[in-house]
Amino acid sequence: MGDYVRVDPDEPAAHSSLVALRGPGRGGETVVRLLIERDGRRILRALDERCPERTVDAGNDPAYPTTHR
C-alpha cells in the first residue's frame, strides 16, 4: 500500500536526494526530492504526481533542508 524510506538525519542532503519534511502536527511528514539549481536555489518536488503543489521553490531559505530530516 505504501513505500518505506529510511532517512539518516546526519547525512547531508544533496542534489536529487530524497528528503523527509516534517509539517505541523502528528503525521505531517512528507518525502520530497531536493533539487539544487546552479545558483544554489533549492527546489522541492513532491513524489506524488497528484499533489496540487508538486514543485516548491524554496530559494536559498535556510529553513529548508540542508540535511535529511
Whole-structure pTM value: 0.70
With H, G, I as helix, E, B as strand and everything else as coil, classify residue 30.
strand
What's the rounded Cα separation, in Å, for the pair 43 and 56?
6
Domain extent listing, the chain: 17-59
What the block records as the C-alpha cell of 55 is 514543485
What's the rounded Cα separation, in Å, for the pair 39 and 35?
11
pLDDT tens per residue across span 17-69 = 988 877 676 666 788 899 999 988 889 898 888 877 888 888 776 565 554 44
